[in-house]
Amino acid sequence: MNEAAPSTLNAKVGHAPGWRGIVADWSSDQRAFKNVSWGKAMMWIFLLSDTFIFGSFLISYMTVRMSTTVPWPNPSEVFALEIAGHHLPLILIAIMTFVLISSSGTMAMAVNFGYRRERRTTAVLMLVTALLGATFVGMQAFEWSKLIGEGVRPWGNPWGAEQFGSSFFMITGFHGTHVTIGVIVLIIIARKVWRGDFDDGRRGFFTSRKGRYEIVEITGLYWHFVDLVWVFIFALFYLW
């Protein structure tokens, strides 16, 4: 009687072949998405949509770059700086990349200390991350002002293909806007962490549930995404 029970159950439930079987397995697995919070799921959905936008921008850039018949400006020359009489190609971009990638490290540590409930350390690390992000935006503003002063415009530039200016301002501007928003959010969340909103459950944005430091991790997801996108921009726009 006991031996017949499993076979009877399998006959009732069945195992659909191919894609139907995969869908059935996932839909019956209560652990797949059960423990994912609403905020984290929404952030992943937002990042997925943002991936499509940045991907479209970069694919458009590559298409324009490969299809134009006018010589494309050499990034090593366009983004070079003269320091103490030395011509240093891409030195500013290298520093910007180092600063932004370093901020991913401080953000990761902030998430770690957040789940340990060490709020002062978490807040300090988030503020350091925000400072590094603001430094990146400041250097990007300097880069923009330098190129604008040299005659680069969205509709043209003095070094070749007119699409260079529009591609540069669109891609780096869109990314810089993301970094700026991230810096503002980091400061807001760091302030809430510092004063203990997540410990006493003070009512307000992101702090309606006591003891939930998950918003630090959600902010970290956004920040790591922004850093990852910059790696692709750096590789395709500045090194190509």
Contact between 186 and 130 (Cβ < 8 Å) = yes
DSSP H or E segment with residue 88: strand 86-88
At residue 13, the pLDDT reads 43
Q: What is the pTM (predicted TM-score) of this model?
A: 0.81
Q: Pick from 219, 197, 220, 218: which is nearest to 209 by CA?
A: 197
The letter for the amino acid at 196 is: G
pLDDT of residue 1: 44
Q: How far apart are CA 17 and CA 134, in angstroms?
A: 53
Residue with tokens 């009512």: 203
pLDDT at position 34, please?
59
Q: Which domains does the chain have, with CATH numbers?
A: 1-35 (no CATH), 36-238 (1.20.120.80)
Q: Are 91 and 79 in contact (CB under 8 A)?
A: no
Which residues, in sequence order, are CB contacts of 83 under 8 Å at separation 6+?
Answer: 91
Per-run averaged pLDDT (10 residues), the chain, 240 residues: 45 56 55 67 93 95 90 88 84 94 95 89 96 97 93 86 91 96 95 82 57 83 96 90
